[in-house]
Structure 1
Amino acid sequence: MKLPDSAHTSRPWRIHEITPDFRLYDVWALPTPGGPDDFPRLIRQTSGGDTSDNPSWVARTLFSIRWKLGKIFGWDDPDSGVGKRVPTLRDRLPADLRDGPRGPEFDRLPFTSVYLAKDEWAAEMGNRTVHGVMHLSWVEDGAGGHRGQMAVLVKPNGLFGKAYMGLIGPFRHVLVYPPLMRGIAKEWEAGRAQDSSTAP
């Protein structure tokens, strides 16, 4: 479920300190119900994800087209990413976050962990269109439990980046995120079932 921006901006997340020049594009309530200590499982599930296993063939096709266009036009070339075209956000971290855990590396997605705190995790990606941040957090759900929350923050690369984000906006909201949320829910429930079957 898409949430209002205030669901992210009203909380005292550390990400606010290091992304004042980024725009908040989306905030989503993740279908990951759990207890107060389940955040590490969400992090593991996310870092092991892949666009090729999206449950929607339309979303998989859009991702495939995007990666092919990126290869043709050089949008995702190594010299366009974090540490090349844009400096890593780790350079902006205050000492306590810089010296703390960074978070896991991703198996297949083009993200790099920036920092990991008790109830939030940030990862970044960069290419010729944008410098983007995925911010995951673990929040109370208002019904006695907890769930994940995801915010997407973006710094477009000039006019081209702004046009690119404007163009893909409708596709993201209508064709990508709804099946993505269903996939997250399915994988989360499968993980809960596996945990239950292996519990002593």
Structure 2
Amino acid sequence: MSHRLPRSAHTEKPWRIHEIAPDFQVLDVWAFPAPGAGPDDFPIALAELRAGDGPSTASAPVRFLFAARRRLGALLGWDEPGAGLGARVRSLRDRLPDDLCQEPTGSAMPNTPFTTVYELHDESAFELANETVHGVAHFGWGATRDGYELRMAVLVKPNGLFGRLYLTGIEPFRLLIVYPAMMRRWDRAWRQHDSVGHVESARETGEAR
């Protein structure tokens, strides 16, 4: 089952994000177990997670929270272009070392306000910025006893006192509604993916015979 991890589960790994965003604080770290996965399945796991994050698959409470946040942001101007990347804050893409500059960057993450910072074979990072915070969603791929797991770390740089108060205010909603719903969607999606993989493997084995 998906579960929360201590911050050290992210900070002690040699992820490239550490050299790019050392001034960001780690807010949350979560594990998405992927039993049966292999070392090259990071893109598959990330695609499964993205596929489950659309508005059509979110629970009613999560849809309500995001709708309320959009309305509030529109009312108070939190999400105006002048509060985002390249305006209020510089994109982390401007900090990338030469080797990461060759990777695809700047593309939008479907169904989210995030854009790509970099993508590698075992980790990737996406960012957003508004009037409250400059945030990063970092994903890493790590081995476990049962296969692999996708680890998601949320890194933030609040916009002053207002940003810190905002993050404190939304913490109960984030921990009690948003993340648990995300975990449930992932667990269902990976079980389905894993069962399809076993069926295909059995079919291939039968055809080989």
Q: TM-score, normalised by structure 1?
A: 0.90
Contact kept? 1:47, 1:105, Cα under 8 Å: no
RMSD of aligned Cα (Å) = 2.0
Alignment of 1:76-115 (within 5 A): 76-102=79-105, 105-115=108-118
Alpha carbons of 1:104 and 1:43: their partners in 2 closer, same or farther (altered >3 Å)?
Answer: farther
1:180 pairs with one of 179, 182, 185: 182
**Contact 2:125 2:138 survives alignment (8 Å):** yes
Question: In structure 1, how many angstroms separate the alpha carbons of the residues matched to 2:132 and 2:106?
Answer: 25
Aligned counterparts, 1:151-190, within 5 A: 151-190=153-192
- Residue 101 of structure 1 deviates from its aligned partner by 3.7
Contact 1:54 1:180 in 2 (8 A): no
SS of residue matched to 2:70: helix
When residues 63 and 51 of structure 1 are mapped into structure 2, their CA distance, relative to the original with a 3 A threshold, is farther
Which string of whole-angstrom CA distances, capped at 9 and with x for unpartnered residues, describes residues 45-100 of structure 1?
Answer: 34445452454322221111111111111111222211221111010011011123
Gaps of 5+ in 1: none
Q: Give CA deviations for 1:18-68 in whole Å, capped at 9, x if unaligned.
A: 111111000101143322121011222344454524543222211111111
Partners of 1:38 and 1:103 lie apart in 2 by 23
2:132 is aligned with 1:116: no
Question: Where do 1:58-77 residues align within 5 Å?
Answer: 58-77=61-80
SS where residue 82 of structure 1 aligns?
A: coil
Q: Is the 8 A contact 1:134 1:153 kept in 2?
A: yes
Counterpart for residue 147 of structure 2? 145
Which one-letter code corresponds to 1:152 in the other structure? V
Residues 43 and 121 in structure 2, CA contact (< 8 A), matched pair in contact too: no
Question: Percent sequence identity over matched residues?
Answer: 48
Length-normalised TM-score, structure 2: 0.87
Is 1:125 the counterpart of 2:116? The answer is no
The question of whether the paired residues in 2 share the 8 Å contact of 1:25 and 1:154 is answered with: yes
**Gaps (5+ residues) in structure 2?**
205-209
8 Å CA contact 2:82, 2:88 repeated in 1: yes
Q: Could you tell me how far apart the structure 2 residues matched to 1:164 and 1:60 are? A: 19
Which structure: larger Rg? 2
Helix, strand or coil at the partner of 1:135: strand
Amino acid at match of 1:139: G
